[in-house]
A = this chain, B = another copy of it.
Amino acid sequence: MPTKKKDVKRIDTTIQTLGPAKIPSNMPYCRFMEDSAATQVNFAEDLDDGASASQTLKLELAGPRKNTYFDPSKTKCAIVTCGGLCPGINDVIRAIVMEAHHNYNVAATLGIRYGLQGFIPKYGHPIEELTPRSVSDIHMFGGTILGSSRGPQPADEIVDALERMNISVLFLIGGDGTMQAAASLLKEIQDRNLKISVIGIPKTIDNDINFIYQSFGFDTAVEASTIAINCAHTEATGAYNGIGMVKLMGRESGFIAAQASLALKVVNFVLVPEAPFTLEGEGGLLEGLERRLADRGHAVIVVAEGAGQDISKTSGETDASGNPILGDICTVLRREIKAHFERKGIEHTLKFIDPSYIIRSVPANANDRVYCGFLGQHAVHAAMSGKTGMVISKMRGHFIHLPLHLVTGQRRRINIGSDYWRSVLESTGQFLYMSSCFG
Protein backbone atom coordinates (compact mmCIF):
# COMPACT_ATOMS: atom_id res chain seq x y z
CA MET A 1 0.00 0.00 0.00
CA PRO A 2 1.71 3.17 -1.16
CA THR A 3 1.54 6.29 0.97
CA LYS A 4 1.82 9.74 -0.41
CA LYS A 5 5.22 11.33 -0.64
CA LYS A 6 5.58 14.37 1.55
CA ASP A 7 7.65 17.39 0.87
CA VAL A 8 10.82 17.14 2.79
CA LYS A 9 11.25 20.43 4.51
CA ARG A 10 13.82 21.02 7.17
CA ILE A 11 12.09 20.98 10.55
CA ASP A 12 13.29 23.63 12.95
CA THR A 13 13.10 22.61 16.58
CA THR A 14 14.82 25.59 18.15
CA ILE A 15 13.18 26.97 21.27
CA GLN A 16 13.07 30.71 21.79
CA THR A 17 14.06 32.32 25.06
CA LEU A 18 13.43 35.71 26.61
CA GLY A 19 17.06 35.95 27.60
CA PRO A 20 19.66 34.09 29.58
CA ALA A 21 18.52 32.42 32.78
CA LYS A 22 20.74 33.79 35.49
CA ILE A 23 18.87 33.63 38.77
CA PRO A 24 19.76 30.53 40.76
CA SER A 25 16.67 28.40 41.17
CA ASN A 26 15.19 28.43 44.64
CA MET A 27 13.63 25.01 44.21
CA PRO A 28 14.03 23.28 47.55
CA TYR A 29 15.21 20.00 46.08
CA CYS A 30 16.12 19.28 42.56
CA ARG A 31 18.13 17.21 40.19
CA PHE A 32 18.37 19.84 37.49
CA MET A 33 18.27 19.24 33.80
CA GLU A 34 21.15 20.55 31.73
CA ASP A 35 19.79 23.37 29.66
CA SER A 36 21.10 21.83 26.50
CA ALA A 37 19.71 18.38 27.28
CA ALA A 38 18.07 16.93 24.25
CA THR A 39 16.82 13.71 22.82
CA GLN A 40 17.00 12.73 19.21
CA VAL A 41 14.19 11.21 17.28
CA ASN A 42 14.16 9.93 13.79
CA PHE A 43 11.38 11.85 12.16
CA ALA A 44 10.50 9.25 9.59
CA GLU A 45 10.38 6.33 11.98
CA ASP A 46 9.02 8.01 15.04
CA LEU A 47 6.25 9.82 13.34
CA ASP A 48 5.00 6.72 11.59
CA ASP A 49 4.87 8.22 8.15
CA GLY A 50 6.95 5.55 6.55
CA ALA A 51 7.29 7.05 3.12
CA SER A 52 8.69 10.50 3.79
CA ALA A 53 12.36 11.22 3.77
CA SER A 54 14.02 10.65 7.05
CA GLN A 55 15.59 13.32 9.17
CA THR A 56 16.84 13.26 12.71
CA LEU A 57 15.37 15.89 15.03
CA LYS A 58 17.11 17.13 18.11
CA LEU A 59 14.46 17.94 20.69
CA GLU A 60 15.02 19.88 23.87
CA LEU A 61 14.18 17.88 26.98
CA ALA A 62 11.73 19.34 29.48
CA GLY A 63 12.65 19.68 33.12
CA PRO A 64 13.80 22.11 35.79
CA ARG A 65 16.86 24.22 35.02
CA LYS A 66 19.47 25.29 37.51
CA ASN A 67 18.82 28.95 36.79
CA THR A 68 15.61 30.80 36.21
CA TYR A 69 15.01 33.77 34.02
CA PHE A 70 12.23 35.21 36.14
CA ASP A 71 12.59 36.30 39.74
CA PRO A 72 9.89 34.18 41.34
CA SER A 73 8.97 36.69 44.01
CA LYS A 74 8.02 39.16 41.31
CA THR A 75 6.47 36.71 38.87
CA LYS A 76 2.77 36.55 38.23
CA CYS A 77 1.48 33.73 36.08
CA ALA A 78 -1.86 33.40 34.33
CA ILE A 79 -3.69 30.36 33.06
CA VAL A 80 -6.36 30.35 30.38
CA THR A 81 -8.33 27.39 29.03
CA CYS A 82 -9.86 27.56 25.56
CA GLY A 83 -11.98 25.46 23.24
CA GLY A 84 -13.89 22.26 23.97
CA LEU A 85 -13.56 20.33 27.20
CA CYS A 86 -11.18 17.46 27.61
CA PRO A 87 -10.45 15.19 30.58
CA GLY A 88 -7.51 16.46 32.59
CA ILE A 89 -7.68 20.23 32.10
CA ASN A 90 -8.21 20.72 35.82
CA ASP A 91 -5.26 18.42 36.49
CA VAL A 92 -3.02 20.59 34.36
CA ILE A 93 -4.29 23.75 36.07
CA ARG A 94 -3.69 22.17 39.47
CA ALA A 95 -0.20 21.02 38.56
CA ILE A 96 0.77 24.49 37.30
CA VAL A 97 -0.54 26.19 40.43
CA MET A 98 1.10 23.69 42.77
CA GLU A 99 4.43 23.74 40.96
CA ALA A 100 4.53 27.52 40.67
CA HIS A 101 3.62 27.95 44.31
CA HIS A 102 5.43 25.17 46.14
CA ASN A 103 8.57 24.78 44.08
CA TYR A 104 9.11 28.31 42.71
CA ASN A 105 7.18 30.45 45.20
CA VAL A 106 5.89 32.72 42.48
CA ALA A 107 4.00 35.81 43.57
CA ALA A 108 0.64 34.65 42.24
CA THR A 109 -1.12 32.57 39.64
CA LEU A 110 -4.24 34.06 38.13
CA GLY A 111 -7.12 32.21 36.54
CA ILE A 112 -8.62 33.79 33.42
CA ARG A 113 -12.32 32.98 33.07
CA TYR A 114 -14.03 31.68 29.94
CA GLY A 115 -11.10 31.44 27.57
CA LEU A 116 -9.59 34.40 25.82
CA GLN A 117 -12.77 36.39 26.52
CA GLY A 118 -11.50 36.63 30.07
CA PHE A 119 -8.85 39.12 28.95
CA ILE A 120 -11.27 41.41 27.18
CA PRO A 121 -12.80 44.04 29.48
CA LYS A 122 -16.14 44.23 27.71
CA TYR A 123 -17.07 40.72 28.79
CA GLY A 124 -16.60 41.67 32.41
CA HIS A 125 -15.45 38.24 33.54
CA PRO A 126 -13.70 38.43 36.93
CA ILE A 127 -10.09 37.34 37.33
CA GLU A 128 -9.48 35.07 40.30
CA GLU A 129 -6.31 34.09 42.05
CA LEU A 130 -5.63 30.40 42.07
CA THR A 131 -4.10 29.06 45.28
CA PRO A 132 -3.05 25.59 46.38
CA ARG A 133 -6.13 25.56 48.58
CA SER A 134 -8.53 26.62 45.84
CA VAL A 135 -7.25 24.01 43.39
CA SER A 136 -6.52 21.14 45.75
CA ASP A 137 -9.58 19.06 44.85
CA ILE A 138 -10.29 20.17 41.30
CA HIS A 139 -8.75 17.07 39.74
CA MET A 140 -11.77 15.15 40.96
CA PHE A 141 -13.94 17.03 38.48
CA GLY A 142 -14.13 16.97 34.71
CA GLY A 143 -14.11 20.10 32.62
CA THR A 144 -12.33 23.29 33.57
CA ILE A 145 -12.92 25.31 36.69
CA LEU A 146 -11.97 28.40 34.70
CA GLY A 147 -14.60 27.94 32.06
CA SER A 148 -13.79 28.11 28.39
CA SER A 149 -14.89 29.74 25.18
CA ARG A 150 -14.21 29.33 21.50
CA GLY A 151 -12.81 31.71 18.98
CA PRO A 152 -10.03 34.28 18.89
CA GLN A 153 -9.89 37.66 20.58
CA PRO A 154 -7.76 40.62 19.49
CA ALA A 155 -4.11 39.94 20.34
CA ASP A 156 -3.47 43.57 21.23
CA GLU A 157 -6.27 43.69 23.76
CA ILE A 158 -5.01 40.49 25.34
CA VAL A 159 -1.47 41.80 25.59
CA ASP A 160 -2.86 45.04 27.01
CA ALA A 161 -4.46 42.97 29.71
CA LEU A 162 -1.25 41.02 30.37
CA GLU A 163 0.60 44.30 30.76
CA ARG A 164 -2.14 45.81 32.93
CA MET A 165 -2.09 42.79 35.23
CA ASN A 166 1.69 42.66 35.18
CA ILE A 167 1.74 39.03 34.08
CA SER A 168 5.09 37.45 33.27
CA VAL A 169 3.98 34.02 32.17
CA LEU A 170 0.90 32.99 30.24
CA PHE A 171 -0.09 29.34 30.09
CA LEU A 172 -2.59 28.52 27.35
CA ILE A 173 -4.39 25.19 27.47
CA GLY A 174 -6.15 24.73 24.17
CA GLY A 175 -6.29 23.20 20.73
CA ASP A 176 -5.01 24.07 17.32
CA GLY A 177 -6.75 27.44 17.23
CA THR A 178 -5.49 28.34 20.66
CA MET A 179 -1.93 27.51 19.66
CA GLN A 180 -2.36 29.84 16.68
CA ALA A 181 -3.65 32.50 19.04
CA ALA A 182 -0.58 31.87 21.19
CA ALA A 183 1.60 32.52 18.17
CA SER A 184 -0.18 35.84 17.54
CA LEU A 185 0.27 36.83 21.16
CA LEU A 186 3.94 35.93 20.94
CA LYS A 187 4.33 38.21 17.97
CA GLU A 188 2.51 41.08 19.66
CA ILE A 189 4.61 40.60 22.80
CA GLN A 190 7.80 40.65 20.78
CA ASP A 191 6.65 43.70 18.85
CA ARG A 192 6.18 45.46 22.16
CA ASN A 193 9.48 44.09 23.40
CA LEU A 194 7.86 42.69 26.52
CA LYS A 195 9.33 39.97 28.69
CA ILE A 196 6.34 37.68 28.84
CA SER A 197 6.66 33.97 28.36
CA VAL A 198 3.97 32.20 26.35
CA ILE A 199 3.70 28.48 26.98
CA GLY A 200 1.13 26.19 25.41
CA ILE A 201 -0.22 22.90 26.66
CA PRO A 202 -1.90 21.39 23.60
CA LYS A 203 -5.34 19.97 24.16
CA THR A 204 -7.43 17.95 21.73
CA ILE A 205 -9.97 15.31 22.42
CA ASP A 206 -9.40 13.94 18.93
CA ASN A 207 -5.68 13.33 19.51
CA ASP A 208 -5.03 15.11 16.24
CA ILE A 209 -2.37 17.68 17.10
CA ASN A 210 0.79 17.40 15.11
CA PHE A 211 3.87 16.11 16.91
CA ILE A 212 1.79 15.17 19.96
CA TYR A 213 1.65 11.41 20.05
CA GLN A 214 -1.04 11.12 22.62
CA SER A 215 -2.77 14.22 23.89
CA PHE A 216 -3.87 14.38 27.49
CA GLY A 217 -7.39 13.16 28.12
CA PHE A 218 -7.31 10.84 25.12
CA ASP A 219 -6.86 7.72 27.23
CA THR A 220 -9.80 8.73 29.43
CA ALA A 221 -11.96 9.49 26.41
CA VAL A 222 -11.18 6.07 24.98
CA GLU A 223 -12.02 4.41 28.27
CA ALA A 224 -15.33 6.30 28.43
CA SER A 225 -16.06 5.34 24.82
CA THR A 226 -15.72 1.66 25.63
CA ILE A 227 -18.74 1.90 27.93
CA ALA A 228 -20.90 3.07 25.05
CA ILE A 229 -19.44 0.42 22.74
CA ASN A 230 -20.03 -2.28 25.29
CA CYS A 231 -23.65 -1.17 25.53
CA ALA A 232 -23.96 -1.24 21.76
CA HIS A 233 -22.63 -4.79 21.80
CA THR A 234 -25.12 -5.74 24.51
CA GLU A 235 -27.93 -4.26 22.44
CA ALA A 236 -26.69 -5.99 19.29
CA THR A 237 -26.53 -9.43 20.87
CA GLY A 238 -29.85 -8.83 22.60
CA ALA A 239 -31.80 -8.90 19.35
CA TYR A 240 -31.94 -11.13 16.31
CA ASN A 241 -29.69 -9.61 13.66
CA GLY A 242 -28.99 -6.84 16.11
CA ILE A 243 -26.77 -3.98 14.96
CA GLY A 244 -25.25 -1.63 17.49
CA MET A 245 -23.89 1.64 16.14
CA VAL A 246 -21.81 4.08 18.15
CA LYS A 247 -20.83 7.56 17.05
CA LEU A 248 -17.63 8.91 18.51
CA MET A 249 -15.85 12.23 18.29
CA GLY A 250 -13.30 12.67 15.53
CA ARG A 251 -13.98 15.14 12.77
CA GLU A 252 -10.78 14.73 10.81
CA SER A 253 -8.97 12.00 12.70
CA GLY A 254 -10.42 8.73 13.89
CA PHE A 255 -8.06 7.99 16.75
CA ILE A 256 -10.73 7.66 19.43
CA ALA A 257 -12.77 5.28 17.30
CA ALA A 258 -9.71 3.24 16.37
CA GLN A 259 -8.28 3.04 19.87
CA ALA A 260 -11.62 2.25 21.50
CA SER A 261 -12.06 -0.55 18.98
CA LEU A 262 -8.68 -1.94 19.97
CA ALA A 263 -9.61 -1.67 23.63
CA LEU A 264 -12.96 -3.38 23.36
CA LYS A 265 -12.67 -6.30 21.06
CA VAL A 266 -16.36 -6.44 20.20
CA VAL A 267 -16.23 -3.96 17.33
CA ASN A 268 -16.77 -5.45 13.88
CA PHE A 269 -16.57 -2.34 11.72
CA VAL A 270 -14.77 0.87 12.53
CA LEU A 271 -15.19 3.78 10.17
CA VAL A 272 -12.78 6.71 10.32
CA PRO A 273 -12.24 9.82 8.20
CA GLU A 274 -8.82 8.61 7.05
CA ALA A 275 -10.12 5.41 5.47
CA PRO A 276 -12.73 6.03 2.79
CA PHE A 277 -15.24 3.27 2.22
CA THR A 278 -18.17 2.54 0.00
CA LEU A 279 -21.69 1.77 1.03
CA GLU A 280 -23.07 -0.10 -1.92
CA GLY A 281 -21.87 -3.01 -3.91
CA GLU A 282 -19.28 -5.67 -3.35
CA GLY A 283 -16.84 -4.72 -0.65
CA GLY A 284 -19.19 -2.03 0.57
CA LEU A 285 -20.44 -1.68 4.11
CA LEU A 286 -23.99 -2.82 3.44
CA GLU A 287 -23.08 -6.07 1.81
CA GLY A 288 -20.37 -6.67 4.39
CA LEU A 289 -22.79 -6.05 7.20
CA GLU A 290 -25.25 -8.44 5.64
CA ARG A 291 -22.62 -11.16 5.46
CA ARG A 292 -21.50 -10.50 9.00
CA LEU A 293 -25.09 -10.84 10.28
CA ALA A 294 -25.52 -14.05 8.29
CA ASP A 295 -22.35 -15.40 9.92
CA ARG A 296 -22.79 -14.27 13.49
CA GLY A 297 -26.25 -12.81 14.06
CA HIS A 298 -25.09 -9.45 15.32
CA ALA A 299 -22.66 -6.62 14.54
CA VAL A 300 -21.15 -3.57 16.17
CA ILE A 301 -20.20 -0.52 14.10
CA VAL A 302 -18.13 2.33 15.49
CA VAL A 303 -18.22 5.54 13.48
CA ALA A 304 -15.98 8.56 13.91
CA GLU A 305 -18.15 11.59 13.24
CA GLY A 306 -15.99 12.68 10.30
CA ALA A 307 -16.03 9.30 8.55
CA GLY A 308 -17.45 8.90 5.08
CA GLN A 309 -17.70 12.59 4.22
CA ASP A 310 -18.07 11.75 0.56
CA ILE A 311 -21.00 9.51 1.40
CA SER A 312 -22.82 11.92 3.65
CA LYS A 313 -22.22 14.67 1.12
CA THR A 314 -23.92 12.78 -1.64
CA SER A 315 -26.94 11.96 0.41
CA GLY A 316 -29.09 13.98 -1.91
CA GLU A 317 -30.00 16.82 0.37
CA THR A 318 -29.20 20.26 -0.90
CA ASP A 319 -29.35 23.68 0.63
CA ALA A 320 -31.25 26.70 -0.69
CA SER A 321 -28.61 27.28 -3.36
CA GLY A 322 -28.74 23.68 -4.46
CA ASN A 323 -25.38 22.80 -2.93
CA PRO A 324 -25.14 19.39 -1.34
CA ILE A 325 -25.50 19.50 2.43
CA LEU A 326 -22.90 17.64 4.39
CA GLY A 327 -25.08 15.18 6.20
CA ASP A 328 -24.50 13.50 9.50
CA ILE A 329 -22.84 10.24 8.55
CA CYS A 330 -24.70 8.22 11.16
CA THR A 331 -28.04 9.52 9.97
CA VAL A 332 -27.09 8.45 6.46
CA LEU A 333 -25.82 5.05 7.61
CA ARG A 334 -28.91 4.33 9.69
CA ARG A 335 -31.18 5.24 6.80
CA GLU A 336 -29.21 3.24 4.26
CA ILE A 337 -28.88 0.18 6.47
CA LYS A 338 -32.59 0.20 7.16
CA ALA A 339 -33.37 0.57 3.48
CA HIS A 340 -30.93 -2.17 2.49
CA PHE A 341 -32.30 -4.77 4.86
CA GLU A 342 -35.89 -3.88 4.14
CA ARG A 343 -35.17 -4.22 0.45
CA LYS A 344 -33.71 -7.64 1.10
CA GLY A 345 -36.50 -8.58 3.47
CA ILE A 346 -34.06 -9.32 6.26
CA GLU A 347 -35.30 -8.72 9.80
CA HIS A 348 -32.89 -6.65 11.82
CA THR A 349 -32.72 -4.21 14.71
CA LEU A 350 -30.45 -1.20 14.84
CA LYS A 351 -29.66 0.60 18.08
CA PHE A 352 -27.77 3.85 17.85
CA ILE A 353 -25.76 5.36 20.69
CA ASP A 354 -24.16 8.78 20.62
CA PRO A 355 -22.31 9.32 23.90
CA SER A 356 -21.31 12.77 22.62
CA TYR A 357 -19.92 14.93 25.42
CA ILE A 358 -19.91 12.09 27.93
CA ILE A 359 -16.51 10.94 26.71
CA ARG A 360 -14.90 14.33 27.18
CA SER A 361 -16.54 15.71 30.33
CA VAL A 362 -15.60 12.92 32.72
CA PRO A 363 -12.70 13.37 35.15
CA ALA A 364 -9.32 12.10 33.96
CA ASN A 365 -8.32 8.55 34.78
CA ALA A 366 -5.12 7.70 36.67
CA ASN A 367 -2.99 7.50 33.55
CA ASP A 368 -4.07 10.89 32.27
CA ARG A 369 -3.69 12.38 35.72
CA VAL A 370 -0.06 11.36 35.84
CA TYR A 371 0.41 12.73 32.35
CA CYS A 372 -1.30 16.05 33.12
CA GLY A 373 0.73 16.41 36.28
CA PHE A 374 3.93 16.19 34.26
CA LEU A 375 2.64 18.60 31.62
CA GLY A 376 1.87 21.20 34.25
CA GLN A 377 5.17 20.78 36.06
CA HIS A 378 7.19 20.99 32.86
CA ALA A 379 5.25 23.99 31.62
CA VAL A 380 6.27 25.88 34.76
CA HIS A 381 9.89 24.71 34.50
CA ALA A 382 10.04 25.92 30.91
CA ALA A 383 8.43 29.26 31.66
CA MET A 384 10.58 30.04 34.68
CA SER A 385 13.74 29.36 32.73
CA GLY A 386 12.66 31.96 30.19
CA LYS A 387 11.52 29.75 27.36
CA THR A 388 8.68 31.09 25.25
CA GLY A 389 6.71 30.38 22.11
CA MET A 390 6.69 26.69 22.79
CA VAL A 391 4.54 23.84 23.97
CA ILE A 392 5.11 20.83 26.20
CA SER A 393 4.88 17.50 24.44
CA LYS A 394 5.79 13.89 25.10
CA MET A 395 7.57 11.88 22.47
CA ARG A 396 8.84 8.35 22.73
CA GLY A 397 8.68 8.53 26.49
CA HIS A 398 10.40 11.90 26.93
CA PHE A 399 8.80 15.18 27.83
CA ILE A 400 10.14 17.76 25.41
CA HIS A 401 9.84 21.36 24.31
CA LEU A 402 8.44 21.98 20.85
CA PRO A 403 8.24 25.32 19.06
CA LEU A 404 4.66 26.55 18.64
CA HIS A 405 4.84 26.52 14.85
CA LEU A 406 5.32 22.76 14.74
CA VAL A 407 2.01 21.90 16.33
CA THR A 408 -0.23 24.20 14.36
CA GLY A 409 -1.43 24.18 10.84
CA GLN A 410 -1.43 20.49 10.14
CA ARG A 411 -3.59 17.82 11.76
CA ARG A 412 -2.32 14.49 12.91
CA ARG A 413 -4.25 11.70 11.27
CA ILE A 414 -4.16 7.93 11.33
CA ASN A 415 -1.71 6.63 8.76
CA ILE A 416 -3.77 3.91 7.19
CA GLY A 417 -0.61 2.32 5.88
CA SER A 418 0.75 1.96 9.40
CA ASP A 419 1.10 -1.00 11.72
CA TYR A 420 -1.35 0.72 14.00
CA TRP A 421 -4.17 0.73 11.49
CA ARG A 422 -3.31 -2.81 10.44
CA SER A 423 -3.76 -3.86 14.06
CA VAL A 424 -7.13 -2.17 14.17
CA LEU A 425 -8.20 -4.11 11.09
CA GLU A 426 -6.80 -7.33 12.55
CA SER A 427 -8.80 -6.64 15.68
CA THR A 428 -12.13 -5.94 14.00
CA GLY A 429 -11.68 -8.41 11.19
CA GLN A 430 -13.62 -6.00 8.97
CA PHE A 431 -11.40 -6.69 5.97
CA LEU A 432 -13.11 -10.07 5.74
CA TYR A 433 -16.42 -8.39 5.06
CA MET A 434 -15.64 -5.02 3.57
CA SER A 435 -12.68 -4.74 1.31
CA SER A 436 -13.31 -1.05 0.73
CA CYS A 437 -11.89 -0.27 4.17
CA PHE A 438 -8.34 -0.59 2.89
CA GLY A 439 -8.55 2.91 1.53
Contact = CB atoms under 8 A, between A and B. Distances in A.
B427 A240 contact: no
Nearest to A236: B143
Interface in A345-362: 351-358, 361-362
A365 B46 CA distance: 26
Interface stretch (A14-22, A175-183, A226-234, A318-326): A226-234
Contacts of A94: 265
B143 A234 contact: yes
A139 interface: yes
B353 A425 contact: no
- Taking each of A219, A263, A425, which has the highest tally of chain B beta carbons within 10 Å of its own beta carbon? A263
Nearest to A227: B358
Interface in A92-130: 94-95, 98-99, 102-103, 113-114, 117, 123, 125
Contacts of A200: none
Contact of A357 (B123, B231, B369): B231
Interface in A245-269: 259-260, 262-265
Contact of A423 (B149, B240, B373): B373
28 contacts: A29-B425, A29-B431, A31-B418, A31-B419, A46-B397, A85-B235, A94-B265, A99-B426, A103-B426, A117-B240, A140-B141, A143-B234, A143-B235, A143-B237, A149-B239, A149-B240, A222-B366, A223-B365, A223-B367, A227-B362, A232-B357, A259-B370, A262-B373, A353-B358, A354-B356, A367-B367, A374-B423, A397-B397
